[in-house]
Amino acid sequence: MNDENRSELAKGYEHREVEARWYPFWKERGYFHGDEHDRTRPPFSIVLPPPNVTGSLHLGHALTATLQDVLIRWKKMSGFNTLWLPGTDHAGIATQMIVEKELKKTEKKSRHDLGRAAFLERVWAWKEKYGSRIGEQHQALGAALDWERERFTMDEGLSRAVREVFVRLHEEGLIYREKKLINWCPDCHTALSDLEVEHEEAHAGELWSFAYPLADGTGEIVVATTRPETMLGDTAVAVHPDDERYRAMVGKNVRHPLTGRELPIIADAILVDPKFGTGAVKVTPAHDFNDFETGKRHGLEQLTVIDLSGRMNAAAGPVAGLDRFEARKRVKELLAEQGLDRGTKPHALPLGRCQRSQTVLEPLLSDQWYVRIEPLARPAIEAVEQGRTRFIPEAWTNTYMAWMRNIHDWCISRQLWWGHQIPAWYCPDGHVTVAREAPAACATCGKRELRQDEDVLDTWFSSALWPFSTMGWPERTETLRTFYPTSVMETGHDIIFFWVARMMMMGIHFMGEVPFRTVYLHPMVRDEKGQKMSKTKGNVIDPLVITEQYGADALRFTLAALTAQGRDIKLAKERIEGYRAFANKLWNASRFALMNLDGFTVGSDVAPAVARTAADRWILARLQRAVNETTAALEAFRFNDAASTVYHFVWHELCDWYIELAKEALYGDDSANKRATQAILVACLSTAYRLLHPFMPFITEELWHVLRAKVGAEGWPDSVLAAPYPATGPLDEAAERAFGPVIGLVDAIRNIRGEMNIAFKVVLDDVEVGSLDRDAAATVREELGRLHRLANVKDAVVRPAGLPPEKKAASAVAVGAGFEVRVGLVGAIDLQAELGRIDKEIAKLEQDLAGIEKKLENPNFVQKAPPEVVEKDRARAAELHEKRGKLEAHRAMLSGTAGPPSADLARRNAMENEKPQNPNQPASPAQTTIEQAQQVISSVAEVGKAAVSAVVAGAEAAIEKVMPSRKPAQKAKKPAAKRKVAARKAAPRKAAKKAAKKPARKVVKARKPAQKPAKAKRKSAKRR
């Protein structure tokens, strides 16, 4: 299956075939293995943030895997000893819930029916069956993970690390057990940490007031609450000590209207704001966080009235047994019956919900384990202050700091069965023994009947240890010595607190050093409109479907290309299709090159190419620039810039230009010339594959193998992943500048043809090139033959260096990167046909416009149709108006009824269009002085500018229909084989041929505005 000596590529790029081939190849050869004994290469390590064992690959995983794989492959190719460590998280609540659900469905049993041990057996069985799914999905994506080191948060080693950390923190007084209020989920039946609470800031609720009668019968005191059921747990009423209204009441008691208990009236300046409501507040220490603190200050009774399932317990008197929300209604009724209801008003209140079940949380009083966090947070703050760990994008530093400085103790016990059971044992006397292994006797009294704490640890407790527990801690392993601290933690910014912050604290505390040097937080993936993807909106893009449809390489490249710092990723299917086309392009270009490498062999060097022509020097210079810029972007975590640099080079320079230019030598008779060109092609392709490999690992591996076999490059490594990443080096700006204008000129002339409807067949015999610098002028003269062939030009005139083309009537002018070109249109254009076409286009457009305007004039439609439909029609009408204006302007220009605008206007436009240019970019107008630019542009009629855009934007479809023969402008760019097919296809279109043959009858006057080279590029790419 894996014939490594294949020296031919399949005709079409089939991603399924290619992507099935290479993962086993890399894995079996051990390319993914990080070598802990290797001290010769610098280490580069990443621990994969462990996905939930219950997980199925979603876009967030795909993004994480892509970015980390880009880094790992790039670093490995750059000579680093890389380790990317995989594993999964046991995901306490999520996994337990899945198995519970399954149990209920298939056997109609609850976990309690099975008992703890039997239930846990079921969970392990589930894990064995499904736990490898997420790992396999990562493999399909190409993730170069070191599977020999795969870990699971509940495997034996990691469980040992968890117990070790718990015991040590307990010994150090940093873990304690205490009865406190915690956020409780009555649905999941467990405590939650602050981070697992989803806060709704302003839930639309109501504030209900009622009166407490004074016990001595001297009056009443009115309080307000958003949770009436909690009044059954009230143990005081508080007022402000300075509040004159209540001064006399402090120290007296009120009588509870439903239970008859007496409650003291206390004065508390912290809890009570005298300006809010009546200035009196009910106090429920067992069910409210502020009241809990108040209760501690005043020694109040903590009376629990709600149970773990959210029902009122026996202490709730007349509402005992009711659900908390039913009790809410009932309490109001009961108090109304006693005439104590003092009214209700709407009130926005903060509400906490369970992250998993969305249940409204209940603050409940219970015994839980906590990490005393402040002593751990302090060094983790310092590490970032000192730059031992840095955040990218940097703005996240503040988020991290703010949270760390206001951090609360971390509740780590969960009332679940699936997880690390807390290593604490209780004797009958209530003494607690914390130990690494089950103790034989109570450490305090020596009693032997011990019961282990039934709770398990928060899932995030074990993942906080991930960067070192996975490497063998608490043993001092070689792996830790080599790969800790890890180089990069790459993850979504939504888990900066869950993961990053806690890993920092634990890593520093137990390893004495930060767990990672750099934290790169990637943006969120959203849909093309920037909306969050969700099942209810139906806008979810499933990476598994995408990979099947377009290939993992296309998905990976898309994600990398969209990952810009500080911006959400807006993912559209069209983008993925576009990058799938990029893979196709590379495949086809490679295939063409391979067909023209017969008999060519290379020595052991990867790049043995010597430039002989200006084009050779140019492509090698551009390649070096692409290498330098891609590397710089990767160093700075600018994934989007790295991807777009490679993309631009491969598509727009190597495929569009160099491979086209190479044809002359490849098909020619000069064998030395041919060999030199072949060498450059091989150098460019083999470098491009290596440059692109981290982004598109599968296709580049395939291409590398075939090229290596074809040119007999036995000295090349047998995998592109084992080949060196292209080295940065000095740029050759002179080579870029000299040849850049040749390419710009061909593009510009082809564009003028497209926009003026001049078929490629029509020879342009009045072309003048100017405004070139000295080098470029020499190169253009040397390359004139090529220019003539590629743009079908005869006898082009090259002006002396620095001089612009002469001004002439009936010409189209283009200003480009370091050049200007004038194309005389006499004899090149068929005026009557063009005018006829425009008339037809205007007529059709007016018909459409009339239809829409009639609709918009109808008040019935405007009032009754959905606003977005009306808005769409209005926009369409405006668009048609604009198009008509452009077409009319174009027509006026061609028929000679419009004069040029004043020179002043043109000059002003020229100034406004002036943009700062990067001198290192040869694709920008570099050598043209302002004065020269003005000279040219002042001859450019405003009306002509409109005409050009009209042809491009509005009438393109019409042109395609009437004059398919304008296509040859692009034909020259296609590989030979394709060109033949295209020519055959075009043959039957006689009308088109005729149109092309028809001589132009009349001289027309047409001028063209400054052409932005980038835009021209885009357009030609689109048409292709």
CB 187, min distance to Zn ion, A: 4
How is 683-725 classified by DSSP, letter by letter? HHHHHHHHHHTTTSHHHHHHHHHHHHHHTT-TTS-SSGGGSPP
Burial of 785 (0-12, 13-18, 19+ CB in 10 A): exposed
* One of 9, 283, 354, 821 touching Zn ion (CB under 5 A): 354
* One of 444, 534, 671, 902 touching Zn ion (CB under 5 A): 444
Paired tokens of 188: 């999941």
Q: Which residue, 265, 305, 307, is CA-closest to 283?
A: 265
- DSSP letter, residue 208: E
Question: Under the criterion CB under 5 A, does residue 424 sit at the interface with Zn ion?
Answer: no
- Range in contact with Zn ion (rule: CB under 5 A) among 181-189, 497-505, 579-587, 648-656: 181-189
State which of positions 359-388 bind Zn ion (CB under 5 A): 359
Question: Under the criterion CB under 5 A, does residue 191 sit at the interface with Zn ion?
Answer: no
* One of 209, 302, 357, 970 touching Zn ion (CB under 5 A): 357
State which of positions 446-505 bind Zn ion (CB under 5 A): 447
> Which secondary-structure segment (H or E) carries 814?
strand 811-816
**Distances 1023 to 433, 548, 751, 947, 976 between C-alpha atoms, Å:** 75, 27, 12, 19, 18
Closest to Zn ion by CB, 132 or 359: 359
> φ and ψ at 492, to 5 degrees?
-75, 150
Closest to Zn ion by CB, 185 or 662: 185
Question: Under the criterion CB under 5 A, does residue 442 sit at the interface with Zn ion?
Answer: yes
Q: Which residue, 873, 62, 81, 2, is CA-closest to 548?
A: 62
Closest to Zn ion by CB, 357 or 934: 357
Rounded-to-integer distance, Cα 17 and Cα 787, Å: 41
CB 431, min distance to Zn ion, A: 3
Closest to Zn ion by CB, 75 or 414: 414
Closest to Zn ion by CB, 355 or 477: 355
Q: Which residue, 639, 830, 819, is CA-closest to 743?
A: 819
Binding marks (x or -) toward Zn ion, 757..776, rule CB under 5 A?
--------------------
Closest to Zn ion by CB, 446 or 712: 446
Q: Tell me the HSE value of 940 on the side-chain side, using a 13 A CA sphere.
A: 27
| 553 contact partners, CB below 8 Å, separation of at least 6 | 15, 19, 142, 583, 695, 696, 697, 698, 699
Closest to Zn ion by CB, 185 or 661: 185
Closest to Zn ion by CB, 309 or 398: 309
CB 101, min distance to Zn ion, A: 14
CB 189, min distance to Zn ion, A: 8
- Range in contact with Zn ion (rule: CB under 5 A) among 187-195, 266-274, 504-512, 816-824: 187-195
Closest to Zn ion by CB, 442 or 711: 442
Rounded-to-integer distance, Cα 163 and Cα 457, Å: 10
CB 438, min distance to Zn ion, A: 15
- Range in contact with Zn ion (rule: CB under 5 A) among 182-190, 406-414, 740-748, 993-1001: 182-190
The two beta strands, 197-213 and 87-88, are unpaired
Closest to Zn ion by CB, 186 or 964: 186
Closest to Zn ion by CB, 17 or 200: 200
**Distances 1000 to 414, 897, 1015 between C-alpha atoms, Å:** 86, 19, 29
- Range in contact with Zn ion (rule: CB under 5 A) among 113-121, 440-448, 453-461, 467-475: 440-448
CB 314, min distance to Zn ion, A: 25
- Range in contact with Zn ion (rule: CB under 5 A) among 286-294, 325-333, 436-444, 777-785: 436-444
Closest to Zn ion by CB, 354 or 650: 354
Q: 3-class secondary structure for 840-868?
A: HHHHHHHHHHHHHHHHHHCHHHHHHCCHH
User: If DSSP codes are grouped into helix, strand and coil, which group holds residue 142?
Assistant: coil
Question: Under the criterion CB under 5 A, does residue 431 sit at the interface with Zn ion?
Answer: yes
Question: Under the criterion CB under 5 A, does residue 429 sit at the interface with Zn ion?
Answer: yes
Q: Which residue, 949, 1003, 1009, 1006, is CA-closest to 811?
A: 1006
State which of positions 855-914 bind Zn ion (CB under 5 A): none
Closest to Zn ion by CB, 250 or 443: 443
Paired tokens of 863: 């009032």
- Range in contact with Zn ion (rule: CB under 5 A) among 172-180, 348-356, 786-794, 934-942: 348-356
CB 412, min distance to Zn ion, A: 17
Tally Cβ neighbours within 10 Å of residue 9.
Answer: 22
* One of 99, 182, 427, 943 touching Zn ion (CB under 5 A): 427
Closest to Zn ion by CB, 425 or 550: 425
Question: Under the criterion CB under 5 A, does residue 1012 sit at the interface with Zn ion?
Answer: no
CB 414, min distance to Zn ion, A: 11
Closest to Zn ion by CB, 185 or 422: 185
- Range in contact with Zn ion (rule: CB under 5 A) among 21-29, 184-192, 299-307, 765-773: 184-192
CB 186, min distance to Zn ion, A: 8
Four-point Cα dihedral 709, 715, 717, 719, nearest 10: 0
- The alpha carbon of residue 44 and the mean position of all alpha carbons in its chain are separated, in whole angstroms, by 23
Closest to Zn ion by CB, 447 or 854: 447
Q: Which residue, 708, 691, 682, is CA-closest to 610?
A: 682
Asked if residue 243 lies in contact with residue 275, where contact means CB atoms within 8 angstroms, the answer is no
Rounded-to-integer distance, Cα 288 and Cα 308, Å: 15
* One of 187, 206, 478, 548 touching Zn ion (CB under 5 A): 187
CB 442, min distance to Zn ion, A: 3
Asked if residue 90 lies in contact with residue 154, where contact means CB atoms within 8 angstroms, the answer is yes
Closest to Zn ion by CB, 185 or 457: 185
Q: Which residue, 876, 881, 884, is CA-closest to 852?
A: 876
- Range in contact with Zn ion (rule: CB under 5 A) among 301-309, 326-334, 439-447, 633-641: 439-447
- Range in contact with Zn ion (rule: CB under 5 A) among 335-343, 437-445, 498-506, 813-821: 437-445
Number of residues near Zn ion (by CB under 5 A): 14
**Distances 846 to 103, 494, 841, 877, 884 between C-alpha atoms, Å:** 68, 52, 9, 10, 8
State which of positions 256-285 bind Zn ion (CB under 5 A): none
Q: Which residue is associated with the tokens 């030979």?
A: 976
The two beta strands, 362-371 and 424-426, are unpaired
Asked if residue 336 lies in contact with residue 327, where contact means CB atoms within 8 angstroms, the answer is no
> φ and ψ at 486, to 5 degrees?
-70, 165
* One of 174, 185, 560, 887 touching Zn ion (CB under 5 A): 185
Rounded-to-integer distance, Cα 750 and Cα 821, Å: 12
Closest to Zn ion by CB, 100 or 701: 100
CB 348, min distance to Zn ion, A: 24
Binding marks (x or -) toward Zn ion, 586..625, rule CB under 5 A?
----------------------------------------
CB 351, min distance to Zn ion, A: 14
H helices of 234-323, in order, are 289-298
CB 306, min distance to Zn ion, A: 15
How is 630-689 classified by DSSP, letter by letter? HHHHHHTT-HHHHHHHHHIIIIIIIIIIIHHHHHHHHHSS-HHHHHHHHHHHHHHHHHHH
CB 95, min distance to Zn ion, A: 14
* One of 53, 91, 97, 188 touching Zn ion (CB under 5 A): 188
Q: 3-class secondary structure for 346-368?
A: EEEEEEEEECCCCCECEEEEEEE
Residues that bind Zn ion (CB under 5 A): 185, 187-188, 354, 356-357, 359, 427, 429, 431, 442, 444-445, 447
